[in-house]
A and B are shown apart, each in its own frame.
Chain A
């Protein structure tokens, strides 16, 4: 069962809260991980690994650098979840 965008943002908010201590309500689509959410490059790896497990998605290292905002990450997960095959 694929997650909706709202569910993905909610999940990312919980992950960012656990790793960086940012309140879940502050984790919004337009927020930058590094500039707004206190997630440095090392902690971003933790966010990615946690998101991979939670949403059954693989995020290769070369794609991580493109995930600047929560919206970027949510879109990526939405497109690639459940093994990367978009179910119609």
Chain B
């Protein structure tokens, strides 16, 4: 049963994002160049230097039954909604075992979050202070633990091969997908539900990120605030939601006649070892991750036509990434259509790798690169082909795409996909 170097494919996708409550509406929003950033209403945000965020288009409380929702942190609610969509999209009709196309022992769940159940922790601390010990919810710990989304998705689909949660700040979602690919490749599982989720729109994380000078303070023009590669960019905009894919060994997908979106070639990983939060300005670590990807897979720079960049709209990070790409891909970067979808979704932290993988998979599937919005004046240091304002058609034939995610702590994760 166990084998190595098996081909891994994507058979299902699901998302709930600032642009829509599912992957179809999210994709439609991306192609339309729609911003999901809105003003943050309410007294508790009034004193903050940042009063904008890309809140979820559909509140998870309107989707999940209340008895279930009240036992899940918002991050786990998003993950469950996206996972349910992806599971059904892959053609599974019931949890593993009940659906005889997959046995529980061959199914895994790897869903990551950068911060975990931070709103549960903070809300329950308020309960402790205001209402006393007895009123603190007995569900608090299972709700706030960072592995909660992965564990709850695992329970939903009956995953028994393993349930994991890699944590690497804003690279978490991508690292989860990379981990899931390895689970299949090394023979631990045939199918893995993988992705990222985040729900950290709360005054404390916003105050903290703002004090790091990492966030855009363009409160007057929310939809213009996230502007990767533009000369006027002044930081990221916090987003929330989840993106999940169903990864499957090619033989398992073929045996059950599943629709295949694309192949996952694998991942390249590295660490900057430079600073706990600052990007390494030359892009050394990012270039190493990219080179590791090329060394570990049969991906050829000549076949890469699209890249979903990490590009969070910070002055330093956006340029460092482009420098790294140029260093490794050389002239081959010239035929890569680069999309910074955070210009529309905001930055979902640990959820980013999830929804941007969904976007990358759909870009290959539909052969359309989504636009980057708000690039009014391209930074002259961005020496690359940025898809601006309108979607761009991608070539026919066999094509490949890359999805980049980097995180505080110096984590670099590069994922590669190829059309089928």
Contact = CB atoms under 8 A, between A and B. Distances in A.
Contacts of B139: 42-43, 46
B413 to A, nearest CB: 35
Contacts of A3: none
A46 B67 contact: no
Contacts of B138: 42-43, 45-46
A19 B67 contact: yes
B259 interface: no
A24 interface: no
A21 B66 CA distance: 7
Nearest to B139: A42
A49 B67 contact: no
A38 B66 CA distance: 14
Interface residues of A, number: 11
Interface in B33-79: 65-68, 70-71
A18 B66 CA distance: 8
A46 B137 contact: yes
B61 to A, nearest CB: 14
Contact of A20 (B67, B134, B142): B67
A38 B135 CA distance: 21
A49 B134 contact: yes
Contacts of A49: 134-135
Contacts of B137: 46
Contact of A21 (B65, B134, B135): B65
A80 to B, nearest CB: 16
Contacts of B135: 49
Interface in A30-71: 38, 42-43, 45-46, 49, 52
A18 B65 CA distance: 11
A38 B67 CA distance: 10
A58 B144 CA distance: 28
A38 B137 CA distance: 17
A43 B66 CA distance: 13
Nearest to A19: B67
A62 to B, nearest CB: 15
Interface string A5-21: 00000000000001111
Interface string B127-169: 0000000110111001000000000000000000000000000
A38 B70 CA distance: 14
A32 B14 CA distance: 37
Contacts of B142: 42
Contacts of A38: 67
A27 B10 CA distance: 45
Contacts of A46: 137-139
A82 to B, nearest CB: 19
A52 B70 CA distance: 20
A52 B134 CA distance: 10
A77 B68 CA distance: 27
Nearest to B137: A46
Contacts of B65: 21
A49 B138 CA distance: 10
A45 to B, nearest CB: 4
Contacts of A45: 138
Contacts of A20: 67
Contacts of B71: 42-43
A55 B135 CA distance: 16
B214 to A, nearest CB: 37
A21 B71 CA distance: 12
Nearest to B140: A42
Nearest to B135: A49
B117 to A, nearest CB: 15
Contacts of B66: 18, 21
Contacts of B67: 19-21, 38
Q: 9 closest Cβ contacts across the A-B interface? A: A21-B67, A45-B138, A42-B138, A20-B67, A42-B139, A49-B134, A21-B65, A46-B138, A21-B66
Given A42-B142, A43-B138, 13 more contacts: A18-B66, A20-B67, A21-B65, A21-B66, A21-B68, A38-B67, A42-B138, A42-B139, A43-B71, A43-B139, A46-B137, A46-B139, A49-B135
8 contacts: A18-B66, A19-B67, A21-B66, A21-B68, A42-B71, A43-B71, A45-B138, A52-B134
